[in-house]
Structure 1
Amino acid sequence: MLMLQKELDQSPDYLKDFVHHKLTQEFSPHTINEYLKNYRLFFNWALSEHILPDLSPCSLESLTAYKMNLYKSHLLSREKYGPPSDTYKGTLSKPTIQRHLTALKVLFTYLSTSYDNAQERPYLSHNPMNGVENVKEYQTLQARADAIEEQLFLGQETHDYLQFIDEEYGQTLTPQALKFFKRDKERDLAINALILASGLRLSEVVNLNLDELSFEKNRAYVTRKGNKKDSVRIAAFGMTYLARYLEVRTLNYPGAIDTTALFITTYKGQAKRMTGNAIEKMVAKYSKAFRVEVSPHKLRHTLATNLFKSSKDLLLTSQQLGHSSAGQTTALYIHIDNDATMDALNLL
């Protein structure tokens, strides 16, 4: 909620009303915060391109489907960069662009239809997103699965990756870098292992508190999308790494005893909850050194694929991931696990 408040501090009243409306609909603060990040990018573009003179409701009335499609074109051609030291990494993916468009559709639907605001009437007379089509995905599930599989650490490679961090990564570092690695190693191993052993989302890992972890039941108690409480099972190997981290947590991070956050860092002598951005950079660093740079979301994909390969149970896999239904996203893991298809073809 603190991050959400910071994002809102300099926002127009209609965005504050929008957030209040979504919170009453039990949208999670994380989802709303991601929406606000997308809106900031859109408004910065609109101001820099003189599409909007300012961010007042009166100025928003001038937005049309044509202008919104200009932004869609901008997203389709926009270059994607990693951290400042990284080089060009291509254009935004279709799913990323679609998330931007979906966020804008949610906002402008509210602004043009909702009476749930201080003035008790819609802010806008029309919805400029009505003429903006979704981006099309020109890949079958199998093509997506093939592309994703190269970024997964499946089977024994899950444990090889963790062992690499534990025993080999430090050998590549300078003495100064090694000092910080030794401090953070158990924490970083615990985070990687937790996602690989449970399939938790990045936001769920970030927000996890000490008292939401049960070693007796091998579970984490988290708040899923839609603000739903859930009890998530954790594979035994994940609990082992978590136990190792908790043994050194207060020793390695001064002030750790004063915070309930499970995963912490130290900043100016104070223990603070790790951010999602910090975890993403950490996972990218280790995975790139191991074989291929991946995100925490790909570690989640790894768990899901390993679980489906082992169980052949789509509903079980869907429930472990916290999906509301065994839909297309979960069905992706069937296509990654295509051994049965190959066996059948080899019999022809």
Structure 2
Amino acid sequence: MRRPNLVVVHRLEVASAFIPLDEKLADHHAILQGYLDTHVTRNHSDRTIDSEQRFLKGWFEGFMVKDDQHPDGERQLMIWEAMIPVLGRQRIIEFSKGLITSEFKPRTVNDYLGKLRRLFQYVLENPYIPGDEVQLIITKYGRVDQPVLEYDYPVHILDLEDEGFVLTGKQLTQFYDFIRKEYISHNPKKLTASRDYTMVVLAGESGLRANEILNLDALKPHRDIFYEQNRIQTRYGKGAKGSGKRIRKTIFTPFAQATLHVYEDQIRPNFPNAKSNPALFISESGDRISYQTMWRCLHVIVCEARKAGLELPPKLAWHSLRKSFATNFMEHNPDKVWVLMDMMGHINPSTLHRYVKHSRSYYDRVIDSVVKNLISGTTRV
């Protein structure tokens, strides 16, 4: 049996020795990579990891500090420098003020500060510099503290800009009709345009995430479409707290079934590797479609729809279609919230709340209905 490699952890007083810039950068990247590796063990998606990595890398590189060792006289900020007591906190306040001044939405500010806070919390709970000889950060670079406090987060208010980020039932139907009747007919690549239309319908009718749609299988042994049961499943649903991918079934409406029938019978067989690649949605090269391709195709469709005069949300994306599904379901089935949570793969009702975005006209109709019921009840008394 092979013995595990042992590392030596130094517990010495804070060193005041000169540390080369290359060594500092290596330590910074080692700590950051250690944190990013936790996303892998927690089973986060590649897209989530990439987003976290790009933000954190850009944030530290964007904060410049004076350094005579550097040829330019300044360099990027290091993790432990961002966590220096008092000074690190001042930097966070400066960053937060900049976001507010630039009119970032409260939700975006919360997202950015949350990314930083989670990184710094990881460092506090694992205060080591990885390597063959693991060292304590405090030993080499001095004391560190959590610079992001709860007081830095914007107060949650009703964000009126959220209205219009979903498509109502009528708008969704108009969007489907535009793609089917105009976009496909005028597109020289009718196969890929028809494929994209089918994916849009599934997103709007079943509430599946983009990552769940691209991982659907059409061939055995893991076929995910069940026409006879009026169900479609994903084997790539988000797990809770790193529990792994979860199998989840959701509604498969007659309209979605009819659309997918046509796609499976007439469209998909014309793609390369259709008989050997189990993927439901295939690229022009015969591979499983990628998220990047899905994003690009939807972006083109939305741009063309706007040119044709359709009124669409300012940032219509795949997740907007998922939110549209949740909102439309709740408007038609207000007493079925637990059913919707199960179909969406949500465990906490507060998560579902962020997806259901009723329009002002819907609120007005509901309020009018409640008032009428109250008045009629009073009259009877």
Aligned to 1:262: 280
Q: 2:120 aligns with which of 99, 108, 115?
A: 108
Letter in 2 for 1:185: A
Q: 1:184 aligns with which of 178, 192, 204?
A: 192
Q: 1:238 aligns with which of 256, 262, 268?
A: 256
Aligned to 1:275: 291
Is the aligned partner of 1:223 residue 2:231?
no
Counting matched residue pairs gives 312
Contact kept? 1:65, 1:132, Cα under 8 Å: no
CA distance in 2, matches of 1:297, 1:28: 15
Per-residue deviation at 1:165? Answer: 0.8
**Residues 202 and 302 of structure 1: CA distance in aligned 2, closer, same or farther (over 3 Å):** same
Contact kept? 1:43, 1:55, Cα under 8 Å: yes
Contact kept? 1:201, 1:297, Cα under 8 Å: yes
Letter in 1 for 2:116: L
Contact kept? 2:65, 2:76, Cα under 8 Å: no
**Residues 150 and 129 of structure 1: CA distance in aligned 2, closer, same or farther (over 3 Å):** closer
CA distance in 2, matches of 1:18, 1:346: 56
Letter in 1 for 2:328: N
Per-residue deviation at 1:154? Answer: 2.2
Larger Rg: 2
Contact kept? 1:265, 1:273, Cα under 8 Å: yes
The residue correspondences of 1:106-255 to structure 2 (distance < 5 A) are: 106-114=118-126, 118=130, 123=137, 125-130=144-149, 133-139=152-158, 144=160, 147-170=161-184, 173=186, 178-180=187-189, 182-210=190-218, 211=222, 213-216=224-227, 217=229, 218-221=231-234, 222-226=236-240, 227-233=244-250, 234-246=252-264, 247-251=266-270, 253-255=271-273
CA distance in 2, matches of 1:272, 1:55: 40
Contact kept? 1:197, 1:238, Cα under 8 Å: yes
Is the aligned partner of 1:65 residue 2:89?
yes
**Residues 179 and 317 of structure 1: CA distance in aligned 2, closer, same or farther (over 3 Å):** same
Which secondary structure state, in structure 2, belongs to the residue aligned with residue 273 of structure 1?
coil
Is the aligned partner of 1:22 residue 2:15?
no
Aligned to 2:60: 43
Unpaired runs of 5+ residues, structure 2, are 1-27, 68-72, 139-143, 376-381
Letter in 1 for 2:90: Y
Contact kept? 1:223, 1:230, Cα under 8 Å: yes
Which secondary structure state, in structure 1, belongs to the residue aligned with residue 149 of structure 2?
helix
- Determine which structure has the larger helix proportion and give its number: 1
Per-residue deviation at 1:346? Answer: 4.3
Contact kept? 1:17, 1:118, Cα under 8 Å: yes
Contact kept? 2:214, 2:288, Cα under 8 Å: no
Which secondary structure state, in structure 2, belongs to the residue aligned with residue 220 of structure 1?
strand
CA distance in 2, matches of 1:287, 1:123: 54
**Residues 249 and 37 of structure 1: CA distance in aligned 2, closer, same or farther (over 3 Å):** farther
CA distance in 1, matches of 2:36, 2:302: 32
Q: 2:338 aligns with which of 315, 319, 339?
A: 315
Per-residue deviation at 1:278? Answer: 2.2
CA distance in 2, matches of 1:199, 1:48: 46
Contact kept? 1:194, 1:238, Cα under 8 Å: yes
Identity %: 18
Which secondary structure state, in structure 2, belongs to the residue aligned with residue 265 of structure 1?
coil
**Residues 49 and 76 of structure 1: CA distance in aligned 2, closer, same or farther (over 3 Å):** farther
Letter in 2 for 1:109: Q
Per-residue deviation at 1:179? Answer: 0.8
Once the two structures are superposed, residues 311-345 of structure 1 have per-residue CA deviations (whole angstroms, 9 ceiling, x without a partner) of: 21222222222221212642773855533322123
Q: 2:312 aligns with which of 292, 295, 305?
A: 292
Contact kept? 1:314, 1:330, Cα under 8 Å: no
Task: Report the TM-score, using the length of structure 1 for normalisation.
Answer: 0.74
Contact kept? 1:214, 1:220, Cα under 8 Å: yes
Task: Report the TM-score, using the length of structure 2 for normalisation.
Answer: 0.69
CA distance in 2, matches of 1:318, 1:248: 33
Is the aligned partner of 1:325 residue 2:348?
yes
Tell which deviates more after alignment, 333-342 or 106-115: 333-342
Aligned to 2:48: 31
